[in-house]
A = this chain, B = another copy of it.
Amino acid sequence: MAKIQPRTLSGFMELLPARQIQFDRMAAIIRESFSLYAYTPLDTPLIEASEILLAKGGGETEKQIYRFTKGDSDLSLRFDLTVPLAKYVALNYARLAFPFRRFQIGKVYRGERAQRGRFREFYQADIDVIGDGQLDISNDAEIPAIIYRTFTSLGLKRFQIRVNNRKILNGFYAMLGLTSKAGAIMRTVDKLEKIGEKSVRDLLTGPDIGLTNEQAAEILKFIDIKGCNADVLAALEGYRGRNPKFDEGLDELTAVAKNLAAFGVPETNFVLDLTIARGLDYYTGTVYETTMLDHPEIGSICSGGRYDNLAEYYTDKQLPGVGISIGLTRLFFVLEDQGYLNDRLNTAPADVLILPMTEDMGPAISLATQLRDNRVRTQIYGEQKKFKQKMNYADKLGVPYVVFLGDDEIKQDKVSLKDMRSGEQELIPTAQALDKIVAAMGANDAEAPILDKGE
């Protein structure tokens, strides 16, 4: 029979088993962290009616979306988790309690040009809080705490949550009489780290934006405000009273920074950064980015912000919100690529491999059942293979314990237990072996960080 060459589509991540276990652990830690802040899990279809997903329209989205027909239906694959959330909240408005806090970890689809580290199918891990009519600024203040706990729980240490407020920026540009150019200016200023101050100045005073040298200097001076949070806030206070929007944004940013210590976020992991604008997004207040201090080239690994109205395309209700998103597939790729994954963690599917040395499998099965009743992941190796092949199998999977069960062991109600890491083997009573394995699994890597770099 002619064979079809097996392949996985370009731009689609598919992991080998040990890596998959690491990915799943990462997702589980994120889920646990989001849950601690009382976000409820949500799962929405991968497919929606195209008119729902494309309600907002916009060039990039329409180009990248996977769109197709089935029967009479014009369907599309979701390209983010925010639009399905907007639909969900509009659809279920009367049945939800507000503020509505939800997290969702799910795949999204964008038909971008495939390149290394860029994916067409990728997981996003999103949290959003949606208010009904209003949403208190304390929600914005909590987001950095969630990011901090999430990345710290993964074992990441050298990261920085960078926060700004669009009202401060818009207010500032209004002071300069540059409101109509604020969008273009912010998109340019956003490139500061990538292209440097001189290029930004040239762009600002270039034909497209057309600022005077004085205006460009004012802007560069403003976004150069740096230092500890208290210093930045003090510098910003110097602009107070000239524009109400600015003042409002400064109050909000002050509120976000105020309770950091109570939220358990050290100042080393948090910075007020006036260059952050999230230019292309629809944010209207607080904005967040998160960067790895040792890998600024990677850009933001977790971004988000405050928006005024989540579901305006589907409902008249005013639904302000604030949220963040982790591009999980890309983050995992980067962490693996940069050697961050802790390869000492147990990625074997089994904690114990039982090798029955008798024809009657009964004793092996009974032992396996006891181990499983104690939550130990157990496999019985039942194939007729040579001893060496069986041990190779245990090695290849990285199984921490192997149990040999022959006539001698069974007669004495004992097992031969081999610790595959130390190589030690001992003949001990079955009950004792069980205790030993259960204890070892309990002390296992459940609490070990899944990352082991970046001290």
Contacts and interface: CB of A to CB of B under 8 A. Distances in A.
Interface of A: 1, 3-9, 12-17, 20-21, 23-24, 35-49, 51-52, 55, 66-71, 73, 75, 87-88, 90-92, 95-99, 101-102, 107, 109, 111, 121, 131, 134-139, 141-142, 145, 149, 259, 262-264, 311-316, 349-350, 353, 361-363, 365-366, 369, 372-373, 375-380, 382-384, 393, 396-397
A141 B6 CA distance: 31
Contacts of A45: 8-9, 12-14, 121
Given A47-B12, A95-B16, A263-B369, A136 B90 contact: no
Given A6-B315, A16-B95, A145-B369, 9 more contacts: A6-B87, A6-B311, A15-B43, A20-B41, A38-B349, A47-B109, A67-B68, A137-B382, A259-B362
Nearest to A88: B14
A9 B75 contact: yes
B369 A7 contact: no
A138 B35 CA distance: 40
B138 A52 contact: no
Contacts of A44: 8, 14
A41 B24 contact: yes
20 contacts: A3-B313, A6-B91, A16-B96, A17-B102, A20-B41, A21-B40, A24-B41, A36-B378, A37-B378, A46-B121, A66-B70, A70-B111, A71-B111, A101-B379, A131-B383, A136-B383, A149-B372, A259-B361, A262-B362, A262-B365
B6 A372 contact: no
Given A49-B7, A52-B4, A52-B7, A38 B377 contact: yes
Contacts of A20: 40-43
B95 A51 contact: no
Residue among A14, A90, A375 with the most chain B CB within 10 A? Answer: A14
Contact of A379 (B38, B102, B365): B38
Contact of A42 (B17, B98, B145, B380): B17
Given A107-B46, A262-B365, A372-B37, A312 B1 contact: yes
Contact of A384 (B71, B136, B142, B145): B136
A18 to B, nearest CB: 8
A165 B9 CA distance: 37
A71 B259 CA distance: 50
A252 to B, nearest CB: 13
